[in-house]
């Protein structure tokens, strides 16, 4: 019964962290260990935290509209740290038209406003192979 470890991070400059906190709390209540790093994380900080904490999933919360710039950069730095096998999820204000581009960048799931937290929990359980 090993707990799933998830990093929830907010890259970029927007200061709206309620969504990230709601997700962190929902994942906690689903029995996961959530490392929450707070606001204004650079891609380097996120990749470094993911490595040190050996998380199985990284979730990014972005409400600034900068997802198409930030996400590939996070993926790139994570890959450079050898974290190619750690899936990346994105939540926040993401226009439907950008979902395909994000998935093409290797994002394993995109969750917009109104997503049921249960869907995110199930998605993560599905992504993380049983140890």
Partner 1 sequence: MIEIVPALLAGDRRALARLLTRIENESPGAAEALAALYPHTGRAHIIGVTGSPGTGKSSLVNAIAQAYRAQGKTVGIICVDPTSPFTGGAILGDRIRMRDLAGDAGVFIRSMATRGSLGGLSRTARDAVRALDAAGFDVILIETVGAGQSEVDIVRAAQTTLVVDAPGMGDDVQAIKAGILEIADVLVVNKADRPGVDNTVRALRTMIETGHPVRRGQMTTHHGQVMHLEADPLPPVDDSMWIPPILRTVAPEGQGIPEVLAAVKQHRDYLDQGNHRHQLERHQVEFELLTRLEAALMARFLGALPPQAMTELVDRVRARELDPAAAVEALLKLPKS
Interface residue list for partner 1 (CB under 8 A): 1-3, 5, 24-25, 27-38, 41-42, 44-45, 48-49, 51-54, 81-82, 131
Instruction: Return d(Cα 52, Cα 73) in angstroms, integer.
Output: 19
CB of 36 to partner 1, least distance (A): 5
- Of 103 and 116, CB closest to partner 1: 116
Exposed, middle or buried: residue 68 (CB in 10 Å: 0-12, 13-18, 19+)?
Answer: middle
CB of 54 to partner 1, least distance (A): 4
Which is nearest to 22 in space by CA: 8, 33, 12, 11? 8
Which is nearest to 61 in space by CA: 100, 103, 94? 94
CB of 95 to partner 1, least distance (A): 29
- Of 24 and 107, CB closest to partner 1: 24
């Amino acid at each position: 019964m090993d707990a799933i470890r998830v990093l929830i991070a907010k890259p970029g400059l927007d200061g709206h962290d309620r969504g990230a906190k709601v997700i962190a709390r929902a994942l906690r209540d689903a029995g996961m260990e959530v490392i929450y790093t707070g606001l204004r994380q650079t891609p380097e900080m996120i990749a470094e935290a993911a490595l040190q904490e050996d998380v199985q999933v990284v979730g990014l919360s972005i409400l600034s509209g900068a997802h198409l710039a930030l996400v590939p950069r996070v993926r790139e730095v994570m890959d450079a740290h050898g974290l190619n096998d750690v899936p990346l999820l994105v939540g926040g204000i993401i226009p439907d038209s950008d979902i395909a581009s994000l998935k093409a960048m290797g994002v394993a799931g995109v969750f917009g406003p109104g997503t049921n937290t249960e869907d995110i929990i199930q998605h993560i359980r599905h992504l993380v192979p049983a140890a």
